[in-house]
Structure 1
C-alpha cells in the first residue's frame, strides 16, 4: 500500500485522510504535517496507519505521494526549502496555485499533478478533477469516488470556478427556509423540509441516463409552480449575471 503524505491538514486534508482510512481493511500509511496540530492528533488517534511528523520535510521523506493542501497565502512559509526527490509524486490541491508557481517553492524534478478534491471524498463519493492525467494519482482518487483527468490548466480552471458555486447553492437553501419562517412555518420544520426536498433532487442526479436539462424538464409541469419560479426569478437576466460572476472568478484564477 502506498505511503501518502499530507501537508496542510485543514478541511480538505482531513476529508482525504478519512476517505483513505475510514472503514478500509488495508489503509495506506499516512504522514501528516504538524500544521493543524489538533486535527492531526485527532486523526492519528482514530486511525492506526496515520501519524503526525516532526516537520514538512519529514512528511516528504517518508512518503511516496505528497498532497499539498495548505492555504495559498501560507505556501511560501510551509513549503520554502523543501527538497522533493524525483521518485516522489506531488499532488497540488491548492486553489488558484498553478503547477509552475508551485515548482518555484519546491526543489526537484518530480511529477506534479493538480487536483480539486471536494469534502465528499471522505465518503468516497466525490469526482476529483486532475491535471495532467497520472495513473497513480487518478487511481488514488478513483478510490475516493472517481477521477476526471483534463489535459490543460485552462480547462482545469473552469472546473475550479464551478466549485465556487457551492456556498451560493447552500445560501439559496437558507433563503428558502428564512422565507418559510417569515410566513409562519417554524424554522426547524422549514429547514427539515428543505433538506429533504433537495436531498431527493440530489439522488435524482445519480441517474446519468438523463441530462441535467432533461431532469429539469421532468421536475416541471407546464404553467406549474416550478415553471413559475424558474421563469420569474431564475430568468435569462439572472442566468446572465451568474455567468458574469463565473467569468470574473475564472479570470482571477487564470
Structure 2
C-alpha cells in the first residue's frame, strides 16, 4: 500500500463475487482522491487475482478470511447468505471492527449473533452499477462514517427501519427484468432492419433520457408523468395494451415474493 493510504481505514471484503468486484472497481477507479486500502478474501481466487492485477497499489489478496479480518478496519460481509453463518462464525471479529452486512435476507440481530460485539454494524444494499455510476445505496440504520465512505461510489439512501430497507431492496430484483426489457426492444428494432449497434445505442440513451426527465421533473411526480399522454396517440395505445395484458400489475406482484424472501428470517 502506498503512503497516501496511511490515514485511511482499510476495507476488507469477505466474499469476492460480482458485487464485491463492482464495489472494489468503484472504489479504485472512481474514488482516487481517497485511496482506501482494500483486502480481499481468497474465495473466488480468479476474481480476487484479477482485481489485484488491475489495481495493484490498492488491492491485496489474503490467504484466509481471518487474515482479511486481522488486516481490516471495516469488514464487508458479501458471501452468499447460505454460507454466511458458517463463514462468519469461523472468523474472530474484534470489538473495534466496523461491519457492513450485505447478506440480503439476514437481520442485523442474526448477524450480531454470529460475529459478536463490534463497534459498528450496518446493513447496505449496493448494486453493480456502483462500479461505474453513483447510483443509490440503501443503508440502515444511518451511520455517518459508513455513509461517508460509500458516498464516494454511490448516493446514500439512509433509512431507519430494516423493513423499509427490505422493501427498497426488493426493487433491486428488477435489474434483470429491466435489462431484459432493453434487450427485447433492441432485438425488435434489429428485426425491423435497424443495425443492432445503432438500436442498442438508441434504446440505452432513450431510457437514460426518461430517467433524467423523472429526476429533474421538480414538483411533477412520476405518477403525473405516467398519466401525461395524448389520447389516441402511440403512448396511449401501448400503455392501454400493456395495462389490459396485466403487465404493470405483474411487476408489482413480482415484488411480493421477493419481499417475503428478504424478510423470511427477520425476527
Q: Which runs of 5+ in 2 are unaligned?
A: 1-7
1:13 aligns to 2:20 (yes or no): yes
Cα distance in 1 between the residues matched to 2:39 and 2:144: 22
Aligned residue in 1 for 2:177: 168
Shift of 1:187: 4.6
Does structure 2 conserve the Cα–Cα contact (< 8 Å) formed by 1:82 and 1:107?
no
**Relative contact order, CA 8 A, sep 6+: which one is greater?**
2
1:165-204 correspondence to structure 2 within 5 Å: 165-185=174-194, 187-204=196-213
Does structure 2 conserve the Cα–Cα contact (< 8 Å) formed by 1:83 and 1:108?
no
1:231 aligns to 2:234 (yes or no): no
Does structure 2 conserve the Cα–Cα contact (< 8 Å) formed by 1:81 and 1:106?
no
Aligned residue in 2 for 1:56: 65
Shift of 1:100: 2.0
Quick one: which of 81, 95, 100 aligns to 2:90?
A: 81
1:137 aligns to 2:127 (yes or no): no
Cα distance in 1 between the residues matched to 2:96 and 2:164: 28
Residues 17 and 230 of structure 1: CA distance in aligned 2, closer, same or farther (over 3 Å): same
Aligned residue in 1 for 2:110: 101
1:246 aligns to 2:264 (yes or no): no
SS at match of 2:13: strand
Does structure 2 conserve the Cα–Cα contact (< 8 Å) formed by 1:81 and 1:107?
no
Quick one: which of 193, 213, 236 aligns to 2:223?
A: 213
Residues 27 and 109 of structure 1: CA distance in aligned 2, closer, same or farther (over 3 Å): closer
Residues 236 and 252 of structure 1: CA distance in aligned 2, closer, same or farther (over 3 Å): same
Which runs of at least 4 in structure 1 moved beyond 4 Å after TM superposition? 181-189
1:31 aligns to 2:39 (yes or no): yes
Shift of 1:125: 1.0
SS at match of 1:51: strand
Cα distance in 1 between the residues matched to 2:90 and 2:77: 14
Cα distance in 2 between the residues matched to 1:221 and 1:125: 34
Shift of 1:82: 1.1
SS at match of 1:193: helix
Q: Which runs of 5+ in 1 are unaligned?
A: none
CA RMSD, Structure 1 to Structure 2 (Å): 2.2
Cα distance in 1 between the residues matched to 2:157 and 2:204: 28
Cα deviation code 1:173-229 (max 9, x no counterpart): 2222333445455555543432332233233344152422244355x3332111110
